[in-house]
């Protein structure tokens, strides 16, 4: 029996066999849609190529018990941003800096005991931090005392889920820090202080690192607990700064797993599935990733893209514990190759990770440029990867 898009994806998340290999992509980037498909919506993209769609409602609400409210000065939230939550003790002021290469923004986080500043810069593809929020170790005390704690707007999520119906997966993420961050605790800290600085601090002042991570943890725990009753299919957690191409397994064990495992446990108590996102190296921490008990792991980045993943080995080692999402090399098989090359790459992924189900084919994270013929070959070949009874 042919499944709906949502049924197919959820069946794979349960590590069961769907009717065929689910095929999707991790975020459909606006740059790609604007430059290659005349600005159509991501849903139109999925429908055009017959892929299994994903929608991303990011719907937060203030906590009235903390006297919090929506930021009255925020403009329209950007890509995968939520409406920011403010309070009388945590306000964000923003200004655009003219005359800079790309859009440059300065943010002031105003508290009763002083302000913190942060700057970002953007181009057509992405945004990055040019001035981190945390410049001195004492700055985390302001965050710990005054930062707001957004909650899940369960009613709004459920309305969005029901409207989306069976068109695809309803997916979101654990809140990132305001303006710029990542879902995971360590990963969020790296955005706010700098990855290199965080790594050095684990040697120079590990107690401070643990204090910083615990501050971020409390905010994420509040959201995880508030998701009870929300009709999500999957919640993203983690981020690339905890990959084994950035930190060691020992560092993961000491500074990532103890915090992220708590959020995953609370999300499970709230009835949610978690996918742990690790764009980069995974093989040295593969068993550690499975041990914090997410329901799925991604992005399974292959060596040719700077990762280290051997799909067949991942399937053998942890395929009975987690669903696998990703594995496709979009850098080499969405551009500068033949459709036959792309089809062969899809078939290899299915042969290495598809046995018994529990595998969702997806590019290993984002792509910005692609030959549309190869997108078509990717989706079509995946639909030919059928499970036998």
Dihedral angle computed from the Cα positions of residues 274, 277, 281 and 287, in that order, rounded to the nearest 10 degrees: -10
Question: Among candidates 249, 270, 250, 253, which has minimal Cα distance to 261?
Answer: 253
pLDDT at 179: 94
pLDDT at 79: 77
pLDDT at 77: 85
Distances (CA, A) of 374 to 88, 99, 191, 350, 352: 52, 39, 34, 17, 21
**How far is CA 318 from its chain centroid?**
20
Per the domain annotation, does 116 fall within a domain? no
**What backbone phi and psi angles, to 5 degrees, belong to 147?**
-60, 145
> What whole-number distance in Å separates Cα of residue 3 and Cα of residue 168?
11
Low-confidence ranges of the chain (pLDDT < 70): none
Per the domain annotation, does 154 fall within a domain? yes
Per the domain annotation, does 112 fall within a domain? no
Per the domain annotation, does 336 fall within a domain? yes
Per the domain annotation, does 300 fall within a domain? yes
Q: Tokens 């329209």, residue?
A: 76
Distances (CA, A) of 140 to 67, 133, 147, 201: 21, 9, 10, 14
Which token pair is 52? 């299994």
- Work out the burial of residue 228: count CB atoms within 10 Å of its CB; fewer than 13 is exposed, 13-18 middle, 19 or more buried: middle
> What whole-number distance in Å separates Cα of residue 223 and Cα of residue 58?
12
The upper half-sphere exposure of residue 124, i.e. CA atoms within 13 Å in the direction of its Cβ, equals: 9
List the Cα angle 190/287/222 in 5-degree steps.
45
> What whole-number distance in Å separates Cα of residue 9 and Cα of residue 18?
8
The domain of 279 spans 5-60+148-383
Per the domain annotation, does 97 fall within a domain? no
> What whole-number distance in Å separates Cα of residue 55 and Cα of residue 2?
21
Count up the domains in the chain and report the number. 1
pLDDT at 200: 98
Distances (CA, A) of 342 to 244, 332, 348, 377: 28, 9, 10, 6
The CATH number covering residue 196 comes to 3.20.20.210
Q: Tokens 């002021």, residue?
A: 93
Per the domain annotation, does 120 fall within a domain? no
Which token pair is 222? 């509040």
Which token pair is 353? 């990770």
Beta strands in 135-239 (DSSP E): 151-152, 168-173, 234-238
Q: Output the pTM of the full model.
A: 0.96
Question: Among candidates 280, 193, 190, 271, which has minimal Cα distance to 229?
Answer: 271
Per the domain annotation, does 98 fall within a domain? no
């Amino acid at each position: 029996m042919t499944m709906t898009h949502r049924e197919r994806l959820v069946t794979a998340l349960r590590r069961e066999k769907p009717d065929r290999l689910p095929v999707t992509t991790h975020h459909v980037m606006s740059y790609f849609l604007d430059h290659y498909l005349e600005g159509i919506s991501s849903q139109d993209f999925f429908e055009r190529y017959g892929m299994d769609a994903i929608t991303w409602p990011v719907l937060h609400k203030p906590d009235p018990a903390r006297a919090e409210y929506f930021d009255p000065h925020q403009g329209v939230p950007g890509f995968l941003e939520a409406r920011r939550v403010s309070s009388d003790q945590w306000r964000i002021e923003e200004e655009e800096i003219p005359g800079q290469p790309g859009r440059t923004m300065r943010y002031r986080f105003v508290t009763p005991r002083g302000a913190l500043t942060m700057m970002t810069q953007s181009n057509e593809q992405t945004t990055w931090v040019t001035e981190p929020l945390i410049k001195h170790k004492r700055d985390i005390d302001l965050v710990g005392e005054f930062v707001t704690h957004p909650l899940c707007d369960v009613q709004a999520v459920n309305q969005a889920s029901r409207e989306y119906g069976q068109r695809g997966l309803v997916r979101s993420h654990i809140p990132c820090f305001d303006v710029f961050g990542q879902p995971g605790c360590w990963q969020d800290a790296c955005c706010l202080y700098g990855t290199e600085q965080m790594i050095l601090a684990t040697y120079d002042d590990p107690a401070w690192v643990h204090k910083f991570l615990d501050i971020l943890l409390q905010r994420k725990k509040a959201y995880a607990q508030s998701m009870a009753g929300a009709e999500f299919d999957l919640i993203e957690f983690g981020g690339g700064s905890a990959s084994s191409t950035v930190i060691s397994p020992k560092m993961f064990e000491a500074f990532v797993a103890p915090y992220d495992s708590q959020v995953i446990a609370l999300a499970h108590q709230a009835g949610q599935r978690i996918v742990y996102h690790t764009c980069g190296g995974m093989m040295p921490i593969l068993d550690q990733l499975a041990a914090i008990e997410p329901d799925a792991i991604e992005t399974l980045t292959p060596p040719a893209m700077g990762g280290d993943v051997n799909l067949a080995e991942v399937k053998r080692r942890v395929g009975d514990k987690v669903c696998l999402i990703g594995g496709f090399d979009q850098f080499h098989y969405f551009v500068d190759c033949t459709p036959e090359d792309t089809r062969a790459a899809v078939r290899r992924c299915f042969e290495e990770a598809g046995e018994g189900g529990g595998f969702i084919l997806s590019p290993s994270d984002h792509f910005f440029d692609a030959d549309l013929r190869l997108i078509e070959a990717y989706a079509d070949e995946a639909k030919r990867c059928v499970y036998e009874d």
